[in-house]
């Protein structure tokens, strides 16, 4: 069984909290953190280990075509995989003759993925692999992750988006200044039963005289119409209302907010998310067991959808 461990000896930095984490070959591990902590962790791994960090910064040959780049890397890494197979698997066959400097950002990203896959490294760390790319490229990375796991290569993914961490990682961790904390797996949507028992009614959800949702900004209280809200997210123990790219703190727990808003068409789509079903534009299927919801707002947000909820939400949206 192949693995690598990040521990106090490797960290040795006042800028990072001390922790021990073993990355195994059977599961992809993701760490969610802010940009500063992520950068410090990357610098620490580069300084104190020989584990390759795939950060999309090292050279591609921008004047060469896509297929010429892939052919070069196949030869460089002494990889025996056929060139046409790589082009098809990374969905580069339609742009194979195009020079990289004429390719889209997503096409270039898939060239990076192909390069990393054929490199033959026995340990892998990816930094922000799916930030700012299209759906095809996200799905391509997820498929590549599965191939990496099948080859029993331990892989760590560093992201600054919880949605990306949940989407890509079998084991998900949150790195903060006070330490590393595992995020519970979203299996079966196990809720806080003490909160649920207080909130549940044998008659089901009841429409209360609730037309505005309070949220606090500094010392001010703002009232939102439920129809304004895109989704609600749990962040570091706080319940946050999300409207486009803006976030506002609620005093309710996520379970309490869900109970109040259910009558207005809100739905607990994931352990950490409640979505306004009227704002759902698309259900994205990344792989057999990975789903997201695309939100109809200015920034086209995506949030996780638990695989245990896929059938239920399809019925609620009259898709079955």
pLDDT in tens, 242-265: 988 788 899 899 999 999 899 899
- Rounded CA separation 74/55 (Å): 20
Is CATH 2.40.50.1020 correct for 193-316? yes
The residue behind tokens 């073993």 is 22
Q: How confident is the model at residue 199 (pLDDT cuts 50, 70, 90)?
A: very low
SS3 228: helix
Q: How confident is the model at residue 318 (pLDDT cuts 50, 70, 90)?
A: confident
Range list for CATH 3.40.50.300 in the chain: 3-183
109-127 residues labelled b (16+ CB within 10 A) or e (exposed)? bbbbbbbbbbeebebbbbb
Q: Which residues contact 130 (CB under 8 A, 6 or more apart)?
A: 137, 138, 141, 164, 167, 168
Give the end-to-end CA distance of the chain in Å, rounded to a whole number: 43
Whole-Å CA distances, 45 to 16, 156, 202, 239, 314: 12, 12, 54, 33, 43
Q: What is the mean pLDDT of the chain?
A: 86
Query: How is residue 307 annotated by DSSP?
Result: G
DSSP 162-212: HHHHHHH-SEEEEEETTEEEEEPP-SS----HHHHHHH--TT-----S---
The string of pLDDT tens digits covering residues 51-80 is 999 998 878 999 999 999 999 999 999 999
CB-based contact 153:121 (threshold 8 Å) = yes
Q: Which residues contact 179 (CB under 8 A, 6 or more apart)?
A: 17, 18, 19
Q: What is the dihedral of CA 273, 276, 282, 283, to 10 degrees?
A: 40
Fold of 3-183: Rossmann fold (3.40.50)
The string of pLDDT tens digits covering residues 151-188 is 999 999 999 988 899 889 999 999 988 889 888 755 44
Q: 214 — phi, psi (to 5°)? A: -80, 140
Check: pTM over 0.75? Answer yes or no: no
Range list for CATH 2.40.50.1020 in the chain: 193-316
For residues 147 and 217, the model is more confident at 147
Tokens linked to 295: 């939100």
Instruction: Read off the pLDDT of each residue in 260-284 and give the average, rounded to a whole number.
Output: 92
Tokens linked to 63: 């004047």
Query: How is residue 152 annotated by DSSP?
Result: T
Is the pLDDT at 13 greater than 80? The verdict is: no
- Rounded CA separation 50/60 (Å): 21
């Amino acid at each position: 069984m192949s693995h690598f461990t990040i521990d106090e000896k490797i960290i040795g930095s006042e800028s990072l909290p001390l922790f021990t984490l073993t990355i195994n070959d059977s599961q992809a591990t993701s760490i969610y953190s802010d940009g500063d902590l992520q950068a410090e962790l990357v610098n620490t791994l580069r300084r104190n280990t020989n584990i390759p960090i795939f950060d999309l910064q090292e050279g591609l040959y921008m004047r060469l075509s896509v297929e010429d780049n892939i052919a070069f890397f196949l030869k460089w890494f002494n990889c025996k995989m056929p060139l046409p197979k790589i082009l098809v698997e990374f969905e580069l066959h339609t742009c194979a003759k195009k020079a990289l400097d004429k390719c889209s950002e997503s096409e270039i990203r898939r060239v990076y993925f192909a390069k990393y896959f054929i490199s033959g490294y026995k340990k892998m760390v990816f930094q922000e692999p799916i930030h700012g790319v299209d759906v095809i490229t996200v799905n391509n990375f997820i498929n590549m992750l599965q191939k990496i796991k099948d080859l029993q290569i331990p892989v760590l993914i560093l992201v600054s988006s919880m949605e990306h961490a949940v989407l890509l990682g079998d084991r998900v961790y949150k790195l903060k200044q006070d330490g590393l904390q595992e995020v519970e797996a979203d299996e079966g949507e196990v809720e806080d039963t003490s909160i649920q028992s207080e909130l549940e009614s044998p008659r089901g959800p009841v429409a209360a005289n609730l037309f505005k949702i309070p949220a606090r900004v500094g010392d001010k209280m703002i009232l939102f119409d439920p129809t304004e809200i895109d989704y609600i997210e749990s962040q570091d123990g706080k319940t946050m209302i999300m409207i486009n790219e803006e976030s506002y703190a609620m005093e309710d727990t996520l379970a309490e907010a869900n109970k109040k808003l259910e009558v207005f068409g809100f739905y607990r789509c994931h352990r950490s998310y409640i979505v306004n079903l009227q704002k759902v534009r698309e259900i994205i299927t990344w792989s057999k067991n990975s789903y997201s919801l695309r939100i109809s707002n200015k920034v086209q947000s995506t949030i996780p959808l638990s695989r245990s909820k896929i059938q239920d939400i399809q019925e609620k949206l009259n898709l079955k």
